[in-house]
Amino acid sequence: MHQIVNYPGHPPESKPLGPAPLSPALRSGNVLYLSGQVGINPDTARIVGPGFAEQAHQALRNVRSLVENAGFSMGDVIKITVFLTRLEDFAELNAIYREYFSEPYPTRSTVGVSLQPSSLLIEIEGVAIRRGA
């Protein structure tokens, strides 16, 4: 059976980021699948600001809060996919990413895309496997 994992303080059935038909994260046994996380604060449902750094930090904070709310750690994350609207943000992404992950880093792909709404600059999805579970 799959378990919906939501942001801390939000019941599983709530949709803090809007009415899209998705779960922020799903846990299936010792595996956690994260939907794409963006620079939106789940407590306000608003984009945190226009800058890449603030959106990247918020997206990664969202990842971390879901991972930890599911009983996992950031060290359990094994795969990350990053979607960037501006590939020139790649170097800044790497610097910010190191604040949330350490070696051995999760596997990662980075892809250039268009996002909706167009003011979003980054989206991050991932997979975690809890060791020893």
The pLDDT assigned to 123 comes to 98
Q: Over its length of 133 residues, how does the chain's per-residue pLDDT go in tens digits?
A: 799 898 888 777 777 667 788 899 999 999 999 999 999 999 999 999 999 999 999 999 999 999 999 999 999 999 999 999 999 999 999 999 999 999 999 999 999 999 999 999 999 999 999 987 5
Instruction: Give the residue numbers spanning the domain of 27.
Output: 3-129
Burial of 12 (0-12, 13-18, 19+ CB in 10 A): exposed
63-102: string of b/e by CB count within 10 Å (b at 16+)? bbbbbebbebebebbeebbbbbbeeebeeebeebbeebbe
Provide the pLDDT for residue 19: 74
**CATH number of the domain where residue 92 is located:** 3.30.1330.40
- Return the C-alpha torsion angle 30, 35, 36, 39, nearest 10: -90
Residue 126 CB neighbours (<10 A):
24
Domain count, the chain: 1
Identify the pLDDT of residue 133: 57
For residue 31, how many C-alpha atoms fall within 13 Å in the half-sphere facing its CB?
Answer: 7
**pTM to 2 decimal places:** 0.94
Cβ distance 100 to 66 under 8 Å?
A: no
